[in-house]
Chains A and B, each alone.
Chain A
Amino acid sequence: AQKITQTQPGMFVQEKEAVTLDCTYDTSDPSYGLFWYKQPSSGEMIFLIYQGSYDQQNATEGRYSLNFQKARKSANLVISASQLGDSAMYFCAMRDITGANNLFFGTGTRLTVIP
């Protein structure tokens, strides 16, 4: 079964607007971690934000925030005030901390910021 699901293969957003990238996950482990990575055309993977399953508050890092809804098993990434440089692939990932410690990636969402 798919561990991480990203249902949006592509998204467009106007510059300076906010955008939400969806991510749902599936795990039976009580302890896990959720990650978001940005991959520009160069291929590198840039870590954006992390949310632990026991964290009480939603994670925020600058213009990035994670809308963590544990009961719905969703971990959507919100990018505020989009910039042209935000155009890239975005990957959601999950690690089962108490299980085999594997890292599962979604298939990614290609974000295009329109000037």
Chain B
Amino acid sequence: GAVVSQHPSRVICKSGTSVKIECRSLDFQATTMFWYRQFPKQSLMLMATSNEGSKATYEQGVEKDKFLINHASLTLSTLTVTSAHPEDSSFYICSARDFENTGELFFGEGSRLTVL
């Protein structure tokens, strides 16, 4: 079946640095990818919808200058957490929809960010 891969799965960085997380659809083209953040009480918040070749659509309350999303190709979307702070520490997960085939939504395995 279709696979979505995220990298890195874990990253630790110092406060003030930027961190890039990649989301790749491995065997299908994804014109749309989604980025979520999981909070400690298990809820998964949709941060933004990443559209290939155009600007991402951010959900209300999500700072677009803080969380930069680039969907440069049909198989890759990146989330860059800029000037990371400890409160940005979280679990970030992406998903991609296989529109060409079944239309199913596939999730990456997530990336755990720890900001020191």
Contacts and interface: CB of A to CB of B under 8 A. Distances in A.
B44 A102 contact: no
Given A43-B34, A45-B36, A108-B104, A103 B42 contact: no
Nearest to A50: B42
7 shortest interchain CB distances as A-B pairs: A45-B44, A105-B107, A102-B109, A47-B43, A47-B42, A103-B110, A44-B46
A102 B1 contact: no
Contact of B91 (A44, A46, A89, A103): A103
Given A47-B41, A50-B42, A107 B109 contact: no
Contacts of B91: 103
Interface in A32-81: 35, 37, 39, 43-47, 50
A101 B105 contact: no
Interface-central residue, B1, B42, B91, by most chain A CB under 10 Å: B42
B110 A102 contact: yes
A45 B104 contact: no
B113 to A, nearest CB: 12
A105 B110 CA distance: 10
B34 A103 contact: no
What is the interface of chain A mostly: helix, strand, loop, or mixed? strand
Nearest to B44: A45
A47 B42 CA distance: 6
A89 B102 CA distance: 14
Interface in A86-115: 89, 91, 93, 100-105, 107-108
Contacts of B34: 43
A28 interface: no
Contacts of A37: 44
A45 B46 contact: yes
Contacts of B28: none
Contact of B1 (A35, A39, A44, A107): A107
Given A45-B43, A107-B1, 20 more contacts: A35-B42, A43-B34, A43-B46, A44-B59, A45-B45, A45-B46, A46-B43, A50-B42, A91-B107, A101-B10, A101-B112, A102-B9, A102-B109, A102-B110, A103-B110, A104-B107, A104-B109, A105-B106, A105-B107, A107-B104
